Amino acid sequence: MTQPKSDLPQGTLDLLILKVVTLGPIHGYAIAQRIQQISRDVLQVQQGSLYPALHRLENRGLLAAEWKDSETGRQAKFYRLTAKGQTELKSETESWKQLAKAVRLILESSEANG
């Protein structure tokens, strides 16, 4: 944890969770770790926001959950993406990319630099 932690903008956590879950059924602890690994420790997800977000997504029908044996042999709650979640992920990714592009254009424009 040499690099400073970064706070996630509103709504971004949901998008990250949906993305991570596309890789296959996965439990909460692994989601947190996966986000941390992939972001090379830049993004650290607190349990305090992870679980409410998971439950919210589940209640909105974007995620489905199931209790299964985990790699350690203990029962864990595995989340997977629903069809509705897939659609949501696609449109959210699209709008995120557009937003990022727009932000970059502004940040790198010469006028603003000057």
Partner 1 sequence: MSWWRRLLKRGEMERHLDAELRFHFDGLVADNVRAGMSEPDARRSARLEFGGVEQVKEECRDARGTRWAEDLWQDLHFALRTLRKTPGFAIAVIGTLALGIGMNTAIFSVVNTVLLKPVHAPEPDRVVTFIATNSGGSTSSLASDIKFNLWREQTSVFEDVSGYFLSPLDLTGIDQPQRAEAIFITKDYFRLFGLPIAQGRGFTDEEERPTGTKLFEKGHVVVLSDAFWKRVFDGDPKMVGKVISLGGDPYQVVGIMASGAQTETAESPDVWVPLLIHPNSERQVHYFQALGRLKPGVTFDKANAQLRLTTQEFRRKYPKSLSTSRGDTFSVQPMQDVLVGDVRASLLILACAVGVVLLIACANVANLLLVKAAGRRREIAMRVAMGAARGRIIRQLLTESVLLAMAGVALGLALGVAGIHALLALNPVDLPRIGQNGSNVALDWRVFVFTILAGLTTGLVFGLIPALQASRADLNSNLKESSGRTGSGLHQNRTRSLLVIAEMSMALVLLIGAALLIRTLIALCSVNPGFDAHNVVTTRTTLDPRFTKAPGVNQLVQNALGRLNALSGVESAGLTGLLPLAGPFSSLPVIVVGRALDGPSHGNSSYGQVSADYFETLKIPLLRGRTFTDADRLESPQVAIINQAMARHFWPDGDPLNSQIQIARGLPGLEEPVRQIVGIVGDVHDDALTRNTLPALFVPVAQRPDARTVGSSVAWVVRVHAESPSLNSAIQNELREATGLPVPSLRSMEEIVAKSTARQNLNMLLMNIFGGSALLLAAIGIYGLIAYSVQQRTQEIGIRMALGAQPGAIRSMVLVQGVWLALIGVAVGIAAAFGLTRLLTSLLFGVQPRDPLVFVAVPVLLAAVALLACYLPARRATQINPLEALRWE
Residues that bind partner 1 (CB under 8 A): 27-29, 32, 46-48, 51-53, 55-56, 58-59, 67, 70, 72, 74-77
Q: Which CB sits closer to partner 1, 3 or 75?
A: 75
Least distance CB 41 / partner 1 (angstroms): 14
Least distance CB 70 / partner 1 (angstroms): 7
Residue-by-residue DSSP string for 37-54: HHTTTS----HHHHHHHH
The pair of three-digit structure tokens given for residue 104, joined into one six-digit string: 């970059």
Q: Which CB sits closer to partner 1, 72 or 113?
A: 72
User: Residue 59 has what DSSP assignment?
Assistant: H
Q: Which CB sits closer to partner 1, 52 or 100?
A: 52
Least distance CB 53 / partner 1 (angstroms): 8
Q: Alpha helices of 1-114 — where are they, by DSSP H?
A: 12-21, 28-38, 47-59, 83-108, 110-113
Residue-by-residue DSSP string for 85-98: HHHHHHHHHHHHHH
Q: Which CB sits closer to partner 1, 67 or 106?
A: 67
